[in-house]
Amino acid sequence: MSDITTTRPAIRNGVDTAALFATLDAIKGDPEIAKFQFRASNRWIAGTHSQSTMDGFFGAKQEMNHATAYVAEADHPAVLVGADNGPTPTEYLLHALAACLTAGVANIAAVRGVNLTEVTSTVEGDIDLLGILGLSKDVRNGYQQIKVTFNVKGDDPDKLRQVVEQSRQRSAVYDVLTNGVPVSIDVVTG
């Protein structure tokens, strides 16, 4: 029956595509909805150990909150004279990249009617600590390169590759990591 074969499910890959299209329409009607500000509040604990809370953010023209206040630990490992109470700050960059690209893959595949069964990825970042330790002026402080490897299972392999490529082209974290962003730092003492 043609009315069945032409009906697209509203939920695909766990993505509510009807809500996604409705959100796009709402933003087209009022671009102010799209202006967001995300935030993290960090508190030093001891040594290289600190803890961030991510809760409130601004978006859709109002102050909002996450379902719960999320907390993330960070520390340096023992080999770098930390207490290893959490991942290193630099590892969170890799997590952020994988998570952003993966969310995009799920959304884009859903909108295109492409079914996913499994998406995994590994992210590797190479860093030479001679930079941050001040032992060489020829070595940068941060990662020298980051390599992402996706393993995607589902519909047609060509479509899956195109979905990953489109996610790369629309990823907030990929953009920030590859192109950089202006960062200002203010200090209050006392």
Query: Among 8, 39, 63, 113, which residue interacts with a copy of itself (rule: CB under 8 A)?
Result: 39
As given in the structure block, the two tokens for residue 142 are 């941060």
Is 89 one of the binding residues for a copy of itself (CB under 8 A)? Answer: yes
Is 88 one of the binding residues for a copy of itself (CB under 8 A)? Answer: yes
Query: Among 63, 86, 113, 137, which residue interacts with a copy of itself (rule: CB under 8 A)?
Result: 86
- SS3 at position 113: coil
Is 181 one of the binding residues for a copy of itself (CB under 8 A)? Answer: yes
| Long-range contact set of residues 51-60: C-beta below 8 Å, sequence gap at least 24 | 59/33, 59/35, 60/33
Is 135 one of the binding residues for a copy of itself (CB under 8 A)? Answer: yes
Q: How far apart are CA 64 and CA 159, in angstroms?
A: 36
Nearer to a copy of itself, 3 or 29 (CB): 29
Binding positions for a copy of itself, 150-179, rule CB under 8 A:
150-153, 157, 160-161, 164, 168, 170-179
**Least distance CB 63 / a copy of itself (angstroms):** 11
Q: How far apart are CA 42 and CA 39, in angstroms?
A: 10
Beta-ladder partners of 145: 126
Name the residue among 123, 175, 127, 173 with its Cα closest to residue 147: 123
Q: Count the site residues for a copy of itself by CB under 8 A.
A: 133
Is 25 one of the binding residues for a copy of itself (CB under 8 A)? Answer: no
